[in-house]
Structures are given as structure tokens and as C-alpha cells.
Amino acid sequence: MMTAVGVIVVIITVYFLIKRYDARLVLLASGIIMACVAGTPMVSLNAFAKEMTNSGLIQAVCSVMGFAMVMKYTECDKHLINLMANGLSKVRPLLIPGVVLATYAVNVALPSAAGTAAAAGAIFVPLMMSAGVHPAMAGAAVKCGTYGSMLNPGLAHNPFVAKIAGVGVMDVIAFHFKANIASLLTATILITLIAYYRKEHTGYKAEGFEAEASFKVKHLYALMPIFPIVILILGATAIIPAFKMDVPQAMVIGSLVALLVTRKNPVNLSNAFFDGMGKAYGEILGIIIAAGVFVSGLTAIGLVKAFTDSMLSNPAIVKICAAVGPFILGLVVGSGDAATFAFNQAITPHAADFGMSVVQMGSMATLGGTLGRTMSPIAGATIIIAGIAGVNPMEIAKRNCLPMVGAMIVGMLFLLA
């Protein structure tokens, strides 16, 4: 009986998420309701308190978002994007694949998909349209690259999986690195072929869209967004052992170096860093906390055990569920976070029971959810890019459909290899 009630609550939860109600409110309410039905209301509240002090996640996510706000304040992100745009404008045949790869690179350094969409879209969409690329295809090319955050140690899912597995964040990234690059190359090739097949790679007459040719790029500024990533990679690979450090230290060092290079107001820069940290806790960690409460409700009402038992009886469906489940929910809801966090909290700790490692299953769920969100017409990043290009978000989603599905298939094959 309780299992049936739980299923009904989950269906209602998905409905409200699709209707774009606040994910934190929906997940919190659902988790508390299921815990109350199970007769253990304090389970959900205890989960809330526990998730609030998840130190590993707080350190990584908040420090990265603080650094991202510093890059926005100093305009170093703008210099990086314009530097890439200047190079791409000189090789028109490689413009579309180049924009996908460049956007991906920007998203690695600046892990917010919506932030990357706004910053990169404002430069790359006008650049492509002025070169004759159809507006919807220009938007699709930028959107196609907005999952580079998978390679950023501050993406909440990376430290989340690392904590469950008991390994370092860079170990998680090292595991899914090849799968991510393979999926990126697949998506890049497919979006380029679609552009040529639809004849949208050239011939469009843009009015009022001109690249920011007058912008003077400062190369040292352009290097600042990737500085902490370089430090972390050099330290994690022992190329420079002295650089071995955790994410927060690297982000603070990156912010200090940016201050020295740009000579901006130290007070304003400090405010930007802490504003970013606060925003990260409220918006990103808020979803993680709510997902934890939701999973506690699922556990209390018996759905997690029922789901786990069904997968143990049918191990063949586990790999499909880990990838396709978060992908579909990311597509439908417009955010891969809620589905991925819930899956990784409830199922991924039991990965060994299905013949998989925690990092493997967690990476599959993360990549699936991220690619689903990248394809979604209602994702915030899609809506931002559509606004810049002046097209319907659905037009961008249609062009990204095949590239994202292809990217998921190839990425999952690499993760399962």
C-alpha cells in the first residue's frame, strides 16, 4: 500500500517539475510527505540537516561559483570568449564545429550552463550570423557545447560522486574524461553535418548582428578563467607536485592572480567572490539538499528498496536506467540536476551489487542528465540563446536532438568499456 502511495507521489513530483515549479520546493515537499506517510517524519528533516553540512560539496561548488563571479566582474570571461571568436572568424569552414568546441572550453572554465550561454552566446551567435549561418543553427551550435562543466571539478555532481565513492574529485573526472571528449566530438560532427544538410551553414543575411570586432582582447586576462583548472591538473597528475591541492585553494589562488592581473577594486572583487558562493549554496546546493530529503522519503516509504530489488532481479536494465533515466528527465524538466542527484543518492551507492563501480554508475547518470538538459527546449541556457538569436527555443532543440542522442550513445559506450 505504501509503495503505491509512493509511486503516486513520485508521479505528482515529476508533473510539478515538468510544469517548472521550483525544484527545491517540489523535492522537499515530496520527501517530507512520503516520510510522513511512512510514519517517520523526522527522517526527512534529519536528512535536510545532514545535507546542509556536506563539507566536500560546499567547498567545491561554492568556491567555483565564487571564482566564476570574479571572472564576470573582472570581464576576464569576456576576453577569453573574444579571443576564441577572433580565431574562429579567420577559419569560416570550421566556424560551426569551432564554436561548439570553444563553448565547451568556456563551460569547462565557467561551469554554469546559463552563464556560459549568456556570455558565449552574446559573442558567438552574432559572429556566426554575420558569417551567414542561420540563427537557429548558430544558437544550436552554442547550446551544443554547454556541457563542458562535466570536466570542471566544481560541478556539483563530480564531488558528489567522489564523496560516495570515497575518491578524489579529479579521479572521477579522469574516469569520464574520455567519454566526455568522445561524446563532444560526436555531437560536434553531427551538428556540423546537420548544418550542411539543411544548408544553414551559409547564405543567411543578418541584419543588426555584428561581431564585437572593436573589442581589444588582453591575452593575459583571457588566461585567467582557465588558471585554476591548470593548477589542479598539474597537481593531480604530479607534473608539478607542489600544485597538488583541493578545489577551494585553487579557486582562491585564481581569484588573487586575477586581482593582480586586472588591478580591479579588491573590495568589489571580494564581494563578487562571496556573492557567487552565496548564490551557489542557495541555487545549486539547495537542489542537492532537497534531493537528499526526497531520497530519504523514497527510502522511508520503501520505493528505493523496491526499485533496487527490481534491478537486482533484472541487472540488464541497470545500465539503461543509469543513462536513459536522467537523460529523459533532464530533457523533460530542463535541468539534469534533480534527477541525477536523486539517482546518485538512491542507487549509485549500491553500484557494486550490479557489477559496476560507484564512479562508473555515477558518471553515467551525470552525463545522461547533462546531455538531456543540453537538448531540452525549456532549459534556461536554451531560452537565453534563443533570445539572443531571435528564434523559438524549440528550433534550437530540434537541431540538437540527433547530436545529443548520438553523444549519449557514444559516451555511454566509453563508460561501459
Q: What is residue 213's predicted lDDT score, i.e. its pLDDT?
A: 57
The answer, yes or no, to whether residue 311 has pLDDT greater than 70, is: no
CB under 8 Å to 197, separation ≥6 — which residues?
none
Segment 297-309, tens digit of pLDDT: 988 988 877 776 7
Percentage of the chain beyond pLDDT 70 is 94
User: For the residues of 27-95, what is the DSSP string, one character each?
Assistant: HHHHHHHHHHHTT-HHHHHHHHHHHHT-HHHHHHHHHHHHHHHHHHHHTHHHHHHHHHHHHHTT-GGGH
Lowest mean pLDDT among 32-41, 71-80, 186-195: 71-80
- Mean pLDDT (the chain) is 86
- Residue 322 CB-half CA count within 13 A: 33
Q: What is residue 55's predicted lDDT score, i.e. its pLDDT?
A: 64
The answer, yes or no, to whether residue 404 has pLDDT greater than 90, is: yes
The answer, yes or no, to whether residue 62 has pLDDT greater than 90, is: no
CB 108 within 8 A of CB 229: yes
Q: Which one is predicted more confidently, 128 or 408?
A: 408
Q: What is residue 128's predicted lDDT score, i.e. its pLDDT?
A: 86
From the centroid of its chain, how far is CA 152? 9
The answer, yes or no, to whether residue 1 has pLDDT greater than 70, is: yes
Segment 315-368, tens digit of pLDDT: 667 778 888 888 887 887 677 777 788 788 888 888 888 888 999 999 999 999
Q: What is residue 206's predicted lDDT score, i.e. its pLDDT?
A: 61
Segment 186-206, tens digit of pLDDT: 999 999 999 999 998 887 776
Cell of 389: 538569436
- Where are the domains positioned within the chain? 2-416
Q: State the burial class of residue 146 (Cβ atoms within 10 Å of its Cβ: 0-12, 13-18, 19+).
A: buried
Query: What band does 214 get if pLDDT is binned at 50, 70 and 90?
Result: low
Query: What band does 207 get if pLDDT is binned at 50, 70 and 90?
Result: low
Q: What is residue 283's predicted lDDT score, i.e. its pLDDT?
A: 79
Query: What band does 28 get if pLDDT is binned at 50, 70 and 90?
Result: very high
Nearest 5°: phi and psi at 202? -160, 165
Percentage of the chain beyond pLDDT 90 is 38
The Cα–Cα gap between 337 and 304 comes to 19
Maximal CA-CA distance, the chain: 67
Query: What band does 86 get if pLDDT is binned at 50, 70 and 90?
Result: confident
Q: What is residue 221's predicted lDDT score, i.e. its pLDDT?
A: 94
Could you count the other beta carbons within 10 Å of the beta carbon of residue 312? 12
Lowest mean pLDDT among 153-157, 222-226, 257-261, 269-273: 153-157
Q: What is residue 401's predicted lDDT score, i.e. its pLDDT?
A: 95
Q: What is residue 116's predicted lDDT score, i.e. its pLDDT?
A: 82
